[in-house]
Amino acid sequence: ILNVEQSPQSLHVQEGDSTNFTCSFPSSNFYALHWYRWETAKSPEALFVMTLNGDEKKKGRISATLNTKEGYSYLYIKGSQPEDSATYLCAFGPSNTGKLIFGQGTTLQVKP
Amino acid sequence: GAGVSQSPRYKVAKRGQDVALRCDPISGHVSLFWYQQALGQGPEFLTYFQNEAQLDKSGLPSDRFFAERPEGSVSTLKIQRTQQEDSAVYLCASSLKRRGETQYFGPGTRLLVL
């Protein structure tokens, strides 16, 4: 059974705080690791797709790292803003299939 | 450009009723995926199409669930004789080609079975 775990489950921070979340995934049969941001009543928005061990990606104040050997990825948000409030999902893409296996998400609430 | 659209956005069904959920993928996208998200969980894979071919339906929870994509574009997920445990958000995603690429999601259909 392929399992993807995210921590923490939820997080409350003050505006301006930096924060990070963890995604753990199987280290075997790896093809890609995806991060999505999902705001209430909207479509999940793709943030990053990472495929190579050691990959680091950045989009504005958000960045992500990937370690495929040990099976984890970190998502960092620098200087959180209220508009960053959302659920952040990571998804593991196995090498033998197109489907994604999602973690349960980390819900971030940024207080002004 | 237009993203993935899904209809209806909300559906309330009585237990035992049949429902049909529609997905319009991004034009030209070859792959189409359906996921089910129960409350407090991450999305779970249901089925996958490449053009009109259903290549993987291993995630469909029972034979009451049926999906089709007859012309390789619009897809319909049908649930027969709905049960309360079918209450969930049903997400559709499309990607240009196959595995490893970004999957673009629609806003989902929230199904409530009473």
Residues in chain A with pLDDT < 70?
Answer: 1
Measure A18 CA to nearest chain B CA, in Å.
24
A102/B103 CB distance under 8 A: no
What confidence score (pLDDT) does residue A7 get? 96
The tens place of each residue's pLDDT in chain B, 114 residues long, gives: 589 999 999 999 999 999 999 999 999 999 999 999 999 899 999 999 999 999 999 999 999 999 999 999 999 999 999 999 999 999 999 999 766 689 999 999 999 999
A99 touches chain B (CB under 8 A): yes
H-helix or E-strand spanning residue B32: strand B31-37
The answer to whether residue B44 neighbours chain A at the CB level (below 8 Å) is yes
pLDDT digits (tens, 9 = 90+) for A61-82: 999 999 999 999 999 999 999 9
Tell me if B106 and A99 make a contact (CB, 8 A cut-off).
no
How many other C-beta atoms can be found within 10 angstroms of the C-beta atom of residue B101? 18
Residue A66: per-residue pLDDT: 97
Task: Decide if A60 touches B, using CB distance below 8 A.
Answer: no
Give the separation between CA B90 and CA B106, rounded to whole angstroms.
9
Instruction: Give B104's contacts in chain A (Cβ within 8 Å).
Output: 43, 46
Q: Does B101 touch chain A (CB under 8 A)?
A: yes
